[in-house]
Structure formats: structure tokens, C-alpha cells
Amino acid sequence: MTDAYRPGGYAAASERIIRDEPTMRTAVTGAARSKDERRQAAWAQIDADAWRDWARDLKSHVLTHLDRYLEEAEDRLVQNGVHVHWAETAEEACRVVARIAEAHDARRIVKAKSMLTEEVGLNTHLEALGLDVRETDLGEFIIQLLGEPPSHIVGPSLHRSLDDCRRLFHERFGTPLDASPEALAATARQVLRDDFLQADLGVSGANFLVAETGTIALIENEGNIRISTSIPKVHVALVGIEKIVPKLEDLAGMIQLTARSATGQPIGNYTSLIQGPRRPGERDGPDEVHVVFVDNGRTGLLADEHAWEVLRCVRCGACLNICPVYRQTGGHAYGWAYSGPIGAILAPGILGLEESMPLPFASSLCGACADVCPVRIPIPELLVYWRERAAEEGLVPRTDAMAMKAWATLAEHPELFGAAAGALGAVPLKRVGRMLPVLRGWVEEREAPVASRKRFLDNRSTKEEGT
Amino acid sequence: MSPRNRILGYVRGAMSSRPRLPHPGRFDGRYLAGDDRLPVERFAEMFSASGGEVERFADLEQASDWLSAFTRDFESATVGATVPGVLRPRLPSSCPDLAPLAVSAAAGGVAETGSLVLDARDGRRTQLLAPTHVVFVYEGDIHATLVSAMVTLRPNLPSAVGLHSGPSKSADIGQILVRGVHGPGRILAAVIGAPEGP
């Protein structure tokens, strides 16, 4: 990637990807469509509205009782023999993991796929300390070898084609350039199996954490998460504070709902329910389990009377798959861990609004994301909310603000509006549009229509006179 | 102030002027089409649909006979700690990361998701590292719903439970589905009829 990997690089990155990387667009669109088709088929089997209402209400209940459930979870985890840590920022979360690694003299770390660790930049932090960090999810493994960030919440390498993977494995492991996907997977299995068996520390995220039992719940299909949390002597789970569910029965619902949305399955082929370290009489399992509760902007979002609803997100990626804007570029253009519509409304809370610009504007507001969200997050409303906040805080270009103000003046004064509409008919729209803010981007990509010399209202009055 | 107290303080501050919303009640996960089949039948359909294989036996003896025939092609096996003697293959024992075959006993099953409930007390490496995994489960231990399985698990939870609902799989290489990425590429649920498990 040649563009700056931050949200501010969005315009340049998306333009470059669309212009220079047509294969990425093809791969992303194809994968997103296929994921969405599977989601649709899975949701067609269930009483979708009832499931979504329940999930919205459960997450809203948790978020409005989060203090109680965090304390209950902490008590239970400690009873289970789990070490509990709290991290207010990304840096703190990384330092906690580094301290645990140091305390165990750990050199080799295997990682289960975790978007929270991407969010806090854990790999970079640990690698700078000289630790050997290995991603074990096949998609994460591929992008780690390529030195790329994930381009999708669920399928981090979905922008890469089979041929990309063939070339990569040929260069790194000497497999033939025409190797089958099965042969490539077998090579990854062999390489990573050695890493699993030699790792000192396993790091995971958590899809959910059950307050009443202290259960860390993890959903996957490959088995790498189960192995990463079972074989190394120490397991560290980074858990966003919003990931709590009250009871095991609630977990049963959320696991199924998440799988149906993320991959169109009734459940992931592996679900881990981890209560703590290995107990007397058990053959294997880690001797130590640590949970790091991470805030990193979440309490700020919770305090916002509009934006808090984004914390219901279960990271299924359904809103990315359906989004016509995401499908054009994939996730890299968004410049941070979470892309697509959900990334655009999480970013202001986690990165700050200024750093997140222009992501709240990277949407056509078509509303498809809200239609598919399994926890009914009002994504388009929140995009508009952050746009308004950006305008209030002077974060949109002044020319855009002036253009919108001019439009508002016209819309509020019918005589001015009429005069402007009349003038429009005589103006070469494409040429003039290029000179104007807001319109410039629009007319560059499109053929401007020829404006009618007659106003719509004039048409109407002619008709009315005729009848 | 500790990070813990600061974070909890922020949470309480955020809640100070916000209504506390009620719990929506137990998840009842309704399906559009009713299903009046026995849990074992639904389990078999769901487990097979996600790539697992299902064998059904009337009793332990039949299951044991099948195992003898099935294991003929394997040189060694790793066996779970809770697998009863009659269901232990007559093969040399090998460590889980080298064994071509693993045999486990499940604590139960879930019909609606097609899942086997695997308890850490049986041995996690045995459940995860061999390319082929045979899991015995009693028909009477198969729950209709995941909620029901969770309620049964709650009083006696081990350090870890794995819900295994099919083979290890991934579509991360060019969106093409491959099996056996990390865990077993072949998983067989060997379902034994009444009586119920211990």
C-alpha cells in the first residue's frame, strides 16, 4: 500500500484502488456478494425480526447495566482463577500483554484472530519488543506474510485471489505456482502446527464474555482459536468492555445470531467456551488465563446519547458485505482496523472525530447496512450524526459548508429558488459544476443532465389549467 | 486511581442520566418452519450439512463392532480420558500431535446447531490435533436447543468446552473452501441409542 494507512487517506486510497487494482475490486465484490447470499439464506430460515429485536434489546440491556455486569464478570473470573486486567487505552492494553509475556519469559506468541488486537496495534507493539508473533487464522496468516492489515472484519484476506496466495506461498515456502488450495492449506497447517506446539503464549480476543460464569466465548471455523487457547501454557484474552452478556442462555442466542450474520452458518464449526485455567485432573490446557478488559474509547461512546448504540455491534461484517461503497474498494482504503459502515461510526469514538475524517462521509446513506444489522444499529442515522458533529466542529471543508449554506438559502426563498432554477437551464452544468465545491466530484464522474428551461411548477400549473 | 476504577467510573457517569433498559427474556430462537423430529434426527441433518459424518448405533456393542472395523486402516490413535473401555480402539496409543486418529466421548450434543459438546476433561489436544476425529455421543444427551444444552452444562462447567459442529475449514485462500486447516478435516459423530449416558 502506497497511501498513508489512516482514515485521512481514504479519498486518495479509494481512488488509487479503483483505478490501479481492478482485481481487488473484483475479489472484494465477489466475496462480499457471496457472503451476503449465505447470510440471506441463513436468515430466511428463522423469525428474523424476533431474533433481531431480542438481540437489540439484550445488548441495550447490557450496555445500560454495564457497570453491574463488568463487576459480576470480574468476580466470577477471579473465582475461576483467571487474572483480570483493565486497560483504558490501546497503549495500556499492549503494555499489559507485554508484561505478561515478560513475566513468563515468553518469546513465541501464537495469535487467534482478534479485531481488538488489530485495533490496539498489539502485533507491532510486541514485535518491537523482539517477540515472535504468529497469526494462526489462515487469512490473518496470509496478510501477515504480505505485511498487510485486514481488509474485512471476518475475512481479513478476502481481497486476495487464489493466484495471489499461490505466488505468496511459492515465494515463502517453495510450493508450486499451480498448487491447489488444499495443498496451500496443508502447507500452512504444517508451518503453524510447529508454532502451536512451541508457543509460550496464546493471545485471543473474545466474541462474548458471560458475566454469570466468566465464560470467554470464541467463534471460528478453522480450530486455530481452540488450539491457540489450549496448547500454550498461558492464554491472554483481550475483551472489549461491551462484549459482556449476562447469562449462558443469552450466549446461546448471540452465538447463533452472530454466525448466521457473519458466515450464514447456524453456528461456527468451533465454538470455545473457556472458564479458566486447566484444573486438577485435566490432561491439558493453559496453566494461566488472563483477561484484559479494554476501554479504548468505548466509555466515551457509551456516554454519547446518540452514538452509544454502535456498541451493540457483534463484528459480524454483514454491513460491509452489503455496502455498495465498501464493495468498490475493500477495507484498506478506510485506513484502520474496522472498515465499511460500522468502521465509519466506530472510528469517531475510538480514534476521535478529527482523526476519523472523512469516514462518516464514505457512504451513500442507502440504508442497506441498517437492514442487515442483526442488532439493529441505526447505522445511517449515526453516519449523519457524525457528519453533523463534523460540520459543527469545523471538520468539513469550508467550501462545502458554504455551498450547503447557499443551498439552504435558496431552498428557504421560493423566489430566489425560481430564479436560480430558471438560470440553471441556460448554464452549461458540467463546465460550471467543475468550478463549484460539492458539485465538482459529482460532475467529474457523470454526464450532467440538461436542465429543463421550464420549471416543474410551471408544468403543474399548465396541467391544472388544462383539466 | 486504578484503570479499573476509572473505567467503571466512566461507565457509571455515562449511565447517570440514561434509562436502564430491561432484559428481553430468554432467547427462544424461533424458526419459520416447525420441526417435530427427534433431536437426534435434526442433529444428524445439521451435522452432516456442515460437513460432518454421522453413524448411528442401537447400543454400545454395535458401536464397538463398527469401531473395530473403522480403525482397521489406522496405525495408532489418541483416545479421550472419558471414553469407556468398550469404545477404546485396539490400536497402539500415540500422542495427539502425531496420531492419525482421535477418539473422544462427547458430554452431549445440540440438535438445532448440529454440535458435539466436548469437555476439557476428555482432553483438548485429542479433540483438536489429529486429522480424523471420531466422537461418541449418546442419543439421550442430544439437546433440542443450544439454550437447553447451556442450562445443563452450567452447574458442572470444566475449564473449557468446545462445541464442534463440523470439520476444520476455511475459505481464506481465494474464497475456496478447504478442510482440515488446523483441526480435523474429517469428523464423525458416532451416535449410540438408549440407554442415556451416565
Q: Which residue of A has its CA nearest to B148?
A: A249
Interface contacts A/B by beta carbons within 8 Å: 273
Task: Name, in order, each residue with C-beta under 8 angstroms of A432's C-beta and a sequence gap of 6 or more.
Answer: none
Contact A249 B150 (CB under 8 A): yes
Q: Which three cell numbers stand for residue B59?
A: 447400543
What grid cell was written down for A43? 436468515
Best to test chain A binding among B1, B2, B6, B11 (most A CBs inside 10 Å): B11
Question: Which residue in B18, B23, B168 is closest to A246 by CB distance?
Answer: B23
pLDDT score for B198: 44
The closest of B138, B140, B124, B131 to B183, measured between CA atoms, is: B131
Inter-axis angle of helices A22-43 and A10-20, nearest 10: 100
For the cut 80, the answer to whether the pLDDT of residue A439 exceeds it is no
CA distance A440 to A430: 9
The residue ranking higher by pLDDT, A406 or A45, is: A45
Tens-digit pLDDT profile for residues A124-174: 999 999 999 999 999 999 999 999 999 999 999 999 999 999 999 999 999
- Distance between A93 CA and the closest CA of chain B, angstroms: 11
Q: In terms of C-beta density within 10 A (0-12 exposed, 13-18 middle, 19 or more buried), how is residue B36 classed? A: exposed
Q: Which residue in A142, A241, A248 is closest to B154 by CB distance?
A: A248
Residue A417 has a pLDDT of 86
| Contact call for residues A13 and A332 (beta carbons, < 8 A) | yes
Q: Kindly report the nearest CA distance between residue B47 and chain A, in angstroms.
A: 9
Which residue's entry shows cell 478506510?
A334
Task: Collect all residues of chain B within an 8 Å Cβ-Cβ radius of residue A215.
Answer: 157
If you search the block for the grid coordinates 458435539, which residue do you land on?
B116
**How would DSSP label each residue in chain B?**
--HHHHHHHHHHHHHTTSPPPPP--S----BSS---S-HHHHHHHHHHHTT-EEEEESSHHHHHHHHHHHGGG-S-BEE-TT--GGGS-SS-B--TTT-SEEEEE-SEEETTTTEEEEEGGG-HHHHHSSSEEEEEEEGGGEESSHHHHHHHHGGG--SEEEEE-S--EE-TTTT--EE-SSS-SEEEEEEE-SSPP-
Which residues in chain A touch residue B126, judged by CB atoms under 8 angstroms apart? 283
pLDDT in the model for residue A431: 75
Q: Please report residues of B whose CB lies closer than 8 A to that of A162.
A: 173-174, 176
Q: What residues contact A402, with CB distance under 8 A and at least 6 apart?
A: A437
For residue A465, is pLDDT > 90? no
Contacts of B32 in chain A (CB under 8 A): 44-47
A162-173 and A138-146 are packed helices; what angle lies between their axes, rounded to 10 degrees? 70
On whether the CB atoms of residues A165 and A183 are closer than 8 A, the answer is no
Average pLDDT per block of 10 residues along chain B, 198 residues long: 97 93 96 92 98 98 98 98 97 97 98 98 98 98 98 97 98 95 97 70
Whole-number pLDDT of residue A443: 76
**pLDDT band at A452; cut points 50, 70, 90:** confident
Question: For residue range A327-348, what is the model confidence (pLDDT) as tens digits?
Answer: 999 999 999 999 999 999 999 9
Output the CA torsion A422→A425→A428→A434 (10° steps).
60
Q: Which of A165, A197, A267 sits opposite B115 (nearest CB)?
A: A267
Residues 6+ apart with CB under 8 A from A319: A340, A341, A342, A368, A369, A372, A373, A379
Predicted confidence band at A206 (pLDDT cuts at 50, 70, 90)? very high
Average pLDDT for chain A: 93
Whether the predicted pLDDT of A424 surpasses 90: no
- Among the partner-chain residues A192, A267, A303, the one whose CB lies closest to the CB of B182 is A192
- The mean-pLDDT minimum among A204-208, A377-381, A398-402 falls in A398-402
Contact A142, A134 (CB under 8 A): no
Q: Which of B125, B83, B193, A230 is nearest to B91 (CA)?
A: B83
**B193: closest CA of chain A, how far (Å):** 24
Pick from B82, B133, B170, B176 the residue to mutate for testing the A interface (most A CBs within 10 Å): B170
CB A332 within 8 A of CB A149: yes
This model of the complex carries an ipTM of 0.97
Contact A250 B27 (CB under 8 A): yes
For the cut 70, the answer to whether the pLDDT of residue A462 exceeds it is: no
B178 at A interface, C-beta within 8 A: yes
Q: Do A227 and B19 touch (CB under 8 A)?
A: no
Bridge partners (DSSP) of residue A278 are none
Separation CA B183–CA B169 (nearest Å): 8
Could you tell me which residues come within 8 angstroms of residue A201 by beta carbon, excluding any fewer than 6 positions away?
A: A100, A101, A104, A106, A108, A109, A110, A232, A233, A234, A235, A236
**Any idea which residue has 457497570 for its cell?**
A67
- pLDDT value of residue A401: 76
pLDDT attached to residue A466: 52
Residue A68 has pLDDT above 60, yes or no: yes
Q: Any residues with CB less than 8 A from the CB of A284 and at least 6 apart, and which? A: A230, A231, A278, B120, B123, B124, B125
Of the candidates A57, A184, A283, the beta carbon closest to that of B24 is on: A57
Report, as an integer, the average pLDDT of A449-463: 69
Please give the distance of CA A240 from its chain centroid, rounded to a whole number: 14
In our burial notation (b when 16+ CB lie closer than 10 A, e otherwise), range A126-141 reads beeeebebbbbbbbbb
Residue A199: CB partners within 8 Å, gap ≥ 6?
A: A108, A109, A110, A134, A228, A231, A232
Mean pLDDT value of segment A237-259: 98
From the CA of B39, how many Å to the nearest CA of chain A?
15
CA dist., res. A439 & res. B138, Å (int): 68
For the cut 90, the answer to whether the pLDDT of residue A442 exceeds it is no
Residues in A touching B51 (Cβ below 8 Å) = 269
Cβ(A391)–Cβ(A401) under 8 Å?
yes
Measuring CA to CA, how many Å separate A265 from each of A221, B49, B150? 10, 10, 19
Q: Any idea how long chain A is?
A: 467
Pairwise CB contact (< 8 Å): A185 & B173 = yes
pLDDT at A3: 58
pLDDT of the residue at A138: 97
Distances (CA, A) of A247 to A72, A117, A203, A397, A451: 11, 25, 24, 48, 61
Report the distance separating Cα B158 and Cα A213, nearest Å. Answer: 11
The alpha carbons of chain B give a radius of gyration, in whole angstroms, of 21
Contact, A204 vs A289, CB < 8 A? no
